[in-house]
Each structure stands twice: as C-alpha cells, then as structure tokens.
Structure 1
C-alpha cells in the first residue's frame, strides 16, 4: 500500500509524491469535499489561488477531475473509470461530505481492493487525509458532520477508510484558519485515549513498503 497524506495541499515534499506515484501517471482528482461550495467559487479559487490539476500537470502527471457524484450507486462504472489510473488525489474541504461521496460511489471499496494490490496510490490533503484514518471522531470538532449537498445521504459516516490505524488531525500548530480547531480536536482525542497523529501544514505522512514516515517536516 502506498499513501501520501498531507496537511495542506501537496506539502513541502512533493518530490516524494512523484517518486511514490511514478512520472507521467494519470491522477484522478476528487474535489467532492467542496460540494457545498458553488461551482463558480471553485473555479475562481482554482484560477486565482490554487489549482491542483495545474500543479500536477506541471510535475508531468496527467490529471483529470473525477466527480464522484457521477457514480453514486454505480460502483462498477467507477471501477472502469479508474482503470489505468495511478493515483486518486482528494482535496480538502468537508471530510464528512467526502466520506459520504466515497461510500455512495463505492470508491471506498475500490480503494481497499486496489491498494491491497498496490496498483494504485491514494493521497489527499486535509479532508482527503482525514478520511484515510481509522475514524472521523474528533474531526467533527473541525468539520460539520451534518453538512449535506444535493444528492447526498443525510447520515454522517464516522468510520474512516482505515488505511492507517489512527485519526489524522491536519493544520495542527499552523498558520491556518483551522489551527485552533485542530488543537481542540487533538486534545479531545488525547483525553479519550484515541490514537491520532497531528500534521502541521507542509508535512505529509508517506506510507510505502510498510514504512510510515513524516516528510516535509517544518
């Protein structure tokens, strides 16, 4: 299994992501954590602030947008759409919305199967990293669990994908609007004896060949 789980965007060690995935790979960029935000606002943000597809293309990858809403209730179609894809990259936003999208499209089961075969890399930042953890308990102190966009099931999912056996808390001790909430979440998890790892912006967790390490440490 190969993972690249970042606190903020691609972190400070994107070269490690390139090594992990392989040059020229097709990358499916999942932005469903942002489905509460209007398409116009999302396009403006990509144009003026950060465009993950452009950043990945500059690194020699072949990225494309993968909207999981197109595959709700159609896991076989999603499985086919991911043929030949080397990485799924999930951007930040609302972790609970993203987790629902993964469940309703069947991406969670597809990832489990393909990561076990090691023919796909999973990566993401903020919400995209959080959903990889054992649980989203504590993350409800950072994101709104009940947030629902059109077409989504109303009930929040607190189980993570279980790709790592702890909760991931991004934006910890960082210059980020959610840093204070991250501190509260980490304290809550510690008080309840729940295994967790905090990440500062710039840092990422990399898993390869059974070895987990923090890269881009600041």
Structure 2
C-alpha cells in the first residue's frame, strides 16, 4: 500500500500530480472508498460527515472526479461479516480517510479490523489521509485537546501542556496514542495555521518534543508521500522535521 498523507487534502497541483502518479492512472478511472469516522466525536459530526461525503468542503478530496466513491464507516464494521466489506477495500484504488479526532480514528481502525487488514492489502492501493486521517497511521502519535473525550485518559497517556498564542498562554491536554503502525514517524498537521495555534511556531516544537519518533509538521500545502518505506515531502508551502 502507498500513502499520501496531507494536512488538508489535495490543495495544490504538486500534491494532485503525486496522487495521480501513485494511482498510476487518471483519477476518473479510479474507485475510492471514503472513511468519515474521525469527524463523529465533534459537535455536528454527522452534518460535517455528510458535507465531506458530498464534497461540500474546502479541502478537495471526494470531489476530485473519481470513477466511483463508496462510504466505509469503521464504527459499523465490527457488527458486519467481513465478507461484506473486505472485498470492497481490496478492490478499491484509493482509501480517502477524513480528518477529525485521530485518537478516535486509530481506535476504530483497530476495533473494525481495518488495521489488521492493512498489511495484506494490494501494493497499488493508495491511502490518502487528511489531518487526523494522516496522523492515525503512525505507530505512535500525539494530539492536543481542550477537553479530551470521556474515557480517553483511561486508555492513553495524557498531560497538561501550555502553548503560546498572540493573546497569551493556553493550556491543553496533550494525549499520546498508538496508531495503525504504517509509518515510523508522527505528523503535526496545519503547521503555522492561525486557527491551530498549538501547531504554530515553537508550539509545534513543544508538541514534537513529547514524541519519541521523528515528527513532520506540515502546513495545508504540504503532503508526505510514502512508497515502500521511502519518505518524500511534497510541498508548495512550509514544513519542518523534528527529532531527527
């Protein structure tokens, strides 16, 4: 399986060209499965999942002109015979994994059986992650929360962290978790985006320092391409590698 890990979707021609290259054929000839699972823990998650499925979002992904797009909801899979959904994953050209809560997504990747399926999937399948969808494939990653979801502290390690903002300091809970283990580095998406102050400037460095693996901080015009273990940064924006 090949990976294209983005902060905010297929936002520029460089990332788009890499996607087509990984697919090995035009997007119009490819079948995709869209995974909205990570968005559900947020207020209005059901609405935002529908908007993403319909392509009514700023981050281009579902609306790229795929031959067909199906929806794979991970929370439904434990109650379904694997014969009903595994073949759909195996026959897809691309898995499109949406953003939201990466800890929740990583949990359901394991609970659903999808994480166990990853090693046996076809080599030409392309995993395309957006934000949380990119973070959750790491062996080990971290995320910050204003209010961690109920029960999260009983499953994952967490601590309070103070980040700097133009308005002063903010305290957030920093949570570390086990991901799907497809890559041996972690990601911080939305690097230097003012809407994500914990991922800006020295805050990203504080975040990365809490993780025992290399950490790529990438902005919304940057992606990480991974093929056969080789890592390549594709960028028309800003990015930084920590913990090398």
Q: Per the shorter chain, which TM-score range?
A: 0.7 to 0.9
2:40 pairs with one of 23, 27, 35: 35
Query: Where do residues 1-218 of structure 1 align in structure 2 (5 Å cutoff)?
Result: 1-12=1-12, 13-21=15-23, 22-23=25-26, 24-36=29-41, 37-44=44-51, 46=54, 48-50=56-58, 54-56=62-64, 58=65, 60-74=66-80, 76-77=82-83, 78-114=85-121, 117-136=122-141, 138-139=142-143, 141-142=144-145, 146=149, 155=155, 158-175=177-194, 177-178=195-196, 180-183=197-200, 184-190=203-209, 193-218=212-237
Q: May I ask how many residue pairs the two structures share in their alignment? A: 205
- Residues 155-210 of structure 1 show CA distances to partners (whole Å, capped at 9, x for unaligned) of 458111222111111111135x22x1124354232266542111111100011244
> Structure 2 stretches of 5 or more lacking a match?
157-175, 238-244
Q: TM-score, normalised by structure 1?
A: 0.80
| Equivalence for 1:151 | none
1:211–1:93 CA distance, 2 compared to 1 (3 A): same
> Structure 1 stretches of 5 or more lacking a match?
149-153
Task: Report the structure, 1 or 2, having the larger strand content.
Answer: 2
Larger mean CA deviation between 184-193 and 21-30 belongs to 184-193
- Residues 79-137 of structure 1 show CA distances to partners (whole Å, capped at 9, x for unaligned) of 133231111110111111111221111111111221xx51422121100000111212x
The answer on whether the counterparts of 2:11 and 2:59 sit within 8 Å (CA) in structure 1 is: no
1:215–1:192 CA distance, 2 compared to 1 (3 A): closer
